[in-house]
């Protein structure tokens, strides 16, 4: 399979809920709020979830739609793909093998 086909498998699995993507480390460090108790509580209670959901949607729509952007994004640490009982972290993880595992687990689910 080509890299584009493998990436499409991951995007499809994300949209079907068979896989998930998470971000950590430097990808979230751009958010810098004043250290006021009310703002911090509001951030952790409400805003943080909204920012993560928006970041996830934008990442899937933009970075995973273009192979060049995907490869560049995967070179940064902080992206984790989870699904079919496995986890794959950037940049050392093999996202191609993860996508193949998604394909194989999908085939096992089919009657």
What pLDDT shows up at residue 111? 65
What pLDDT shows up at residue 48? 76
d(CA 81, CA 64): 12
Q: Give the pair of three-digit tokens for residue 77.
A: 């640490």
Say if CB 85 and CB 101 are below 8 A apart.
no
What pLDDT shows up at residue 44? 76
Q: Residue 86: beta bridge partners?
A: 83
Can you give the pLDDT of all 111 residues of the chain as single tens digits? 899 999 999 999 998 888 988 877 655 554 454 476 666 677 777 777 888 889 889 988 998 899 999 999 999 998 999 998 899 999 999 999 999 998 888 767 766
């Amino acid at each position: 399979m080509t890299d584009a086909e493998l990436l499409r498998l991951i995007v499809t699995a994300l949209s079907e809920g068979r896989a998930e993507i998470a971000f950590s480390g430097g990808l979230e460090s751009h958010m810098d709020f004043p250290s006021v108790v009310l703002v911090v509580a509001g951030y952790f209670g409400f805003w943080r979830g909204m920012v993560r959901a928006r970041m996830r949607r934008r990442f899937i729509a933009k970075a995973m739609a273009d192979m060049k952007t995907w490869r560049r994004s995967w070179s940064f640490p902080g992206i984790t793909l989870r699904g079919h009982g496995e986890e794959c972290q950037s940049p050392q993880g093999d996202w191609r093998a993860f996508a193949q595992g998604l394909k194989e687990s999908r085939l096992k689910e089919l009657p």
